[in-house]
């Protein structure tokens, strides 16, 4: 018979011996998002200070981007660019190479944040060099290092999509983080 005040003290102490507190397990989506976030350390050669955690750092703006757009970092950034520049004339973003060659996408992204710095309506897709110069100089005036050159963007076989992605990531970090 059980005493009215709870478990028999002997049984209660035995139960406590077998109880153990387990740390909370990270949610599956958090683990997936962290794996997707890790691609930038591959390209930049930088790694987070603490690789042992399964949790995404809350200050990482890419976490919110990934939750909003889903998929990989690359596809999330692509969708971010598409949503920022929706409705812009002569802008159709389908990749991180040929879509950016004429400089209009870079200019459109900057224009969404700084409409007084870039007169987007006056830009001509045929003037690729001038558009790219304007975009890269606008970025540099804000402290965004031009990790691409106009010459790279105008190569016959097109720009390296990973380098374009890296520069777009710099723009995202500047304005969104």
pLDDT per position as a tens digit, 108-154: 999 999 999 999 999 999 999 999 999 999 999 999 999 999 999 99
Closest C-alpha to 74, from 95, 93, 59, 48: 95
- Whether 111 is in a domain gets the answer yes
Dist. CA 16–CA 23, nearest whole Å: 17
- Whether 3 is in a domain gets the answer no
Alpha helices by DSSP H, listed for the chain, are 9-18, 28-37, 39-44, 61-69, 73-84, 104-113, 128-141, 150-153, 161-176
Q: Which structural domain, as residue segments, surrounds residue 154?
A: 74-176
As for how many domains the chain has, the answer is 1
Centre a 10 Å sphere on the Cβ of residue 61 and count the other Cβ atoms it contains.
13
The whole-number pLDDT of residue 82 equals 96
- Whether 67 is in a domain gets the answer no
- Whether 125 is in a domain gets the answer yes
CATH number for the domain spanning 166: value is 1.10.418.10
The whole-number pLDDT of residue 177 equals 80
- Whether 102 is in a domain gets the answer yes
- Whether 133 is in a domain gets the answer yes
């Amino acid at each position: 018979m059980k005493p009215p005040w709870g478990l028999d003290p002997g049984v209660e102490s035995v139960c406590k011996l077998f109880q153990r507190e387990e740390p909370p397990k990270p949610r599956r989506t958090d683990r997936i998002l962290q794996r997707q976030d890790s691609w930038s350390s591959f390209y930049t050669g930088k790694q987070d200070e603490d690789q042992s955690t399964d949790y995404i750092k809350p200050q990482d703006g890419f976490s919110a981007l990934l939750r909003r757009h889903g998929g990989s970092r690359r596809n999330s950034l692509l969708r971010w660019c598409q949503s920022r520049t929706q409705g812009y004339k002569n802008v159709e973003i389908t990749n991180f190479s040929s879509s950016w060659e004429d400089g209009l996408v870079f200019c459109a992204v900057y224009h969404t944040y700084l409409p007084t710095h870039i007169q987007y309506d006056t830009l001509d897709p045929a003037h690729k060099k001038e558009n790219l110069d304007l975009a890269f100089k606008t970025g540099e005036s804000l402290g965004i290092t031009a990790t691409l050159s106009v010459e790279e963007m105008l190569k016959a076989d097109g720009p390296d999509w990973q380098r374009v992605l890296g520069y777009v990531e710099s723009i995202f970090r500047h304005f969104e983080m």
